Each structure stands twice: as C-alpha cells, then as structure tokens.
Amino acid sequence: MNKEAKIYVAGHRGLAGSALVRALKAQGYRNLVLRTHAELDLTGQAAVADFFNREKPAYVFLAAAKVGGILANGTCPAEFIRENILIQANVIHQARLSGVKKLLFLGSSCIYPRHCPQPMREEYLLTGPLEQTNEAYAVAKIAGIKMCQAYHRQYGANFISVMPTNLYGPGDSYDPQNAHVIPALLRKFHEALPDKPVVLWGTGSPRREFLHSDDLAGACLYLMQVYDRPEVINIGSGEEVTIRELAATIRQIVGHRGPVAWDKTKPDGAPRKLLDLSRLHRLGWRHKIGLKEGLAAVYAEFKRGNKLRTRLFPVILKASVNQKR
Ligand code: GFB
C-alpha cells in the first residue's frame, strides 16, 4: 500500500474502523474513502455495487458489522446474522468485481467452538459446536471467512481474514443493555450511587482476553503489508482476566467504593476465549497497550465525552425549543 493508494475503510465510525482511520492517517495515508451508514447502506446490493464502480478503491478494510455484547446477541440473533451476511457478501463480491488489490476482513474470536482447547489456534475453526449466546453472529463471521477463502481459491483474490479478541477503546457503545462488558462496566461504576449495589451480569467467572482498538488497528495495517495467505490469523494481547478481576480493576479506576452484586440470571457466555498468538508473533507483531493503561485512557475519554454531552445538552435543548416555535 503506498501512501497515495485509495483505501476504503468500511465501518469507519465503529470501534475498529475509527481506530483504523486514526492509524492510517497517523502513518501518512492520505487517500481514504469513507461513507457513513446514512450515506451508504452496506446491506443494499445495488448501492454497494454503485459505490465500488464509482470509487474503485485499491484496498479495503472491512470493519463494518452489526456488533453488540452478550445480551444484544441473545435478543437480536436475526439482525446479527442477516445484516452481517449481507454486508460481507456485498462488500467482498463488489471488491472482487471492481478489482480491489487486497481486502482485510475482520472476524471475531467467537468463531471458535465453545469448548475449544485453550489457547485457541487458528486451525480449531469448525471443530466443534459454537457458544449459544452469539451463534448467529459467529455463523455470519464464519461465512465471511469462508467467502474470502473461496474468492482466494477460485479467483486468486488477495482477501485475508483476521480474528480479533474482545476489543475496547475510544468511541465504543455505552448503551447499558447492548454494550460489551468494558464500556458497560465503566458506565455502571461511573453512574453508581454510593449506597446501591452495581449489578453485574453472570457469575464473574468467565475469562476474557482484551485488546485496545489502537493495537488492533496497528496489527491490521501490519498484516495488510506482510500477510497474503487465505488462512485466518488471530489478533490479541494474550492478557486474560476473569470478569470478576476486570470488574475490580474498573471499580478501582473509576474510584467506586459501594457494593457490587452479580445477577446470575444473566448469561456468562463462553467460559474462556484466549487466542493462540504464535502465528501473529512469528510474523513480528506484538501488542503495546496493557489492559490497565488502556482502561484508564478509555475512562478518561468517557469522562471527557460525558462532560461535553452535559455542556451541550442545554444548547441542544434550547435549539429544539426554538425549532418548535
Ligand atoms: O463483552 P460481553 O458482552 O460479551 O460479556 P462476550 C463478557 C462477559 O461479561 C460475560 C459479563 O460473561 C457477561 O456475562 N458481564 C458482566 C457483562 N456484567 C456485564 C454487563 O454489564 N454487560 C455486559 N455486556 N457483560 C461477545 C459476543 O461475547 O464477544 C459478541 O456476544 C462478540 O458477539 C464479542 O463476539 C467479542 O465476550 O461474552
């Protein structure tokens, strides 16, 4: 990828996509093509075909997806499977038709079987049943991987797939019901009242590996330069904690002193999802941002965003009152 190459980042407002744009700009890539959801609905076949015919990007980072935490996955499986399959099918197919030189597809560590040996090696894909809480999302992501591999085999397309572990970072969703665990806990502890327990979900015993989105973006740019094989490649930190340990760390960062309760009627999800990173490390990439450091930075960003919202709120309110007049 030279610095003038036309690069399309699909999903540039999301957690992964926004980090990719920051990393590309920081490395001097000047010719980025970006479209918001309102400008281009990636589930629409004709609109995506038209976009690729007009823009003809040379490189594509496919970071657009419908994503959410454990509860969102459980309550809206139809949306997760439909939207993700449509987005992937449209973007991957049109990328091939319009002559894209290389495409990087972002999968997820939930593609591996629920009872996968740990750490999870790339070759364990499709060796056992999936975790139920996010099966629809995982099946869609597996379809995306298989589509990249099929286009590689049949057409010689240089389409690669990466499997990130659980991500966190700036610009995440903080929706209490739909968010992933890190933004959900940051918000819960931040908004907690001193005498009421903060209610967390499940038993706290599942283990998760977390990676900052800026590290993910660094790895993706690196792999775009050095990796051309159809086999999937894991991206993670190797840093694993239990949800209980994660909660204790976040509680400390936020400075919360009140009680914590665990709602065991909510699902735990996969007991463990630690990625094997041998392939990535052999290629010469390692993460830089430690979990505690990353969490503190994200909490600082969350507080800045909150302040901004509180400051803007009276202005927005006044404007809407004025509009009604
Ligand atoms: O991040 P998370 O929603 O998704 O939840 P998964 C991780 C763990 O945190 C689960 C627990 O064991 C939750 O029960 N948890 C505790 C909480 N309190 C909370 C809370 O307030 N909110 C949330 N969200 N969790 C996702 C998949 O699985 O992983 C996605 O559903 C995707 O499809 C993503 O693959 C990477 O790690 O369980």
96-121: per-residue pLDDT in tens? Answer: 999 999 999 999 999 999 999 999 99
Q: Token pair of 316, please? A: 């927005």
| Residue among 220, 231, 236 at smallest CA distance from 274 | 236
Whole-number pLDDT of residue 93: 98
Whole-number pLDDT of residue 211: 98
Whether the CB of 201 sits within 6 Å of ligand 1: yes
Nearest CA to ligand 1 atom 34: 166
Is residue 207 predicted with pLDDT exceeding 70? yes
Question: Which residues, in sequence order, are CB contacts of 70 under 8 Å at separation 6+?
Answer: 133, 134, 181, 201, 266, 267, 269
> Ligand 1: which atom is nearest the Cα of residue 68?
30
SS3 per residue for 213-270 = HHHHHHHHHHHHHHCCCCCCEEECCCCEEEHHHHHHHHHHHHCCCCCEEEECCCCCCC
Rounded to the nearest 10 degrees, what angle do helices 77-97 and 45-55 cross at? 30
- Over residues 64-77, the mean pLDDT reads 97
Choose the weakest-confidence range: 124-128, 207-211, 320-324: 320-324
Whole-number pLDDT of residue 191: 95
| Residue among 108, 115, 41 at smallest CA distance from 73 | 108
- Over residues 76-82, the mean pLDDT reads 98
Helix (H, G, I), strand (E, B) or coil at 297: helix
Whole-number pLDDT of residue 325: 29
- Best residue among 84, 116, 172, 181 to mutate for probing ligand 1, ranked by most atoms within 8 Å of CB: 181
Whole-number pLDDT of residue 222: 98
Whether the CB of 84 sits within 6 Å of ligand 1: no
Is residue 197 predicted with pLDDT exceeding 50? yes
> Ligand 1: which atom is nearest the Cα of residue 269?
38
Is 137 among the residues known to form the active site?
Answer: yes
| Residue among 201, 198, 81 at smallest CA distance from 144 | 81
Is residue 220 predicted with pLDDT exceeding 80? yes
| Residue among 110, 117, 113 at smallest CA distance from 130 | 113
pLDDT category of residue 310 using cuts at 50, 70 and 90: low
Whether the CB of 73 sits within 6 Å of ligand 1: yes
Neighbours of 27 (CB within 10 A): 12
What is the 75 CA–ligand 1 centroid distance (Å)? 13
Q: Please give the Cα distance from 43 to 238 (Å, whole number).
A: 34
**Could you say which of 112, 137, 151, 299 is catalytic?**
137
Q: Please give the Cα distance from 10 to 63 (Å, whole number).
A: 5
41-to-35, 36, 84 alpha-carbon distances in Å = 9, 8, 12
What is the 166 CA–ligand 1 centroid distance (Å)? 9
What is the 69 CA–ligand 1 centroid distance (Å)? 5
Instruction: Round the average pLDDT of the chain to a whole number and report it.
Output: 94
147-196: per-residue pLDDT in tens? Answer: 999 999 999 999 999 999 999 999 999 998 999 999 999 999 999 988 89
Q: Please give the Cα distance from 106 to 89 (Å, whole number).
A: 13
Choose the weakest-confidence range: 81-85, 89-93, 173-177, 271-275: 173-177
- Best residue among 66, 67, 70, 242 to mutate for probing ligand 1, ranked by most atoms within 8 Å of CB: 70
87-to-55, 143, 250, 272 alpha-carbon distances in Å = 18, 11, 34, 28
What is the 8 CA–ligand 1 centroid distance (Å)? 29
Query: pTM for this one?
Result: 0.94
> Ligand 1: which atom is nearest the Cα of residue 166?
36
Whether the CB of 211 sits within 6 Å of ligand 1: no
Nearest CA to ligand 1 atom 31: 70
DSSP-derived secondary structure for 102-171: EEEEE--GGGS-TT--SSBPGGGTTSSPPPGGGHHHHHHHHHHHHHHHHHHHHH---EEEEEE-EEE-TT
> Ligand 1: which atom is nearest the Cα of residue 266?
14
Which residue segments constitute the domains of the chain, with CATH numbers given? 7-313 (3.40.50.720)
- Over residues 124-133, the mean pLDDT reads 97
The helix (H) or strand (E) run that includes residue 97 is helix 77-97
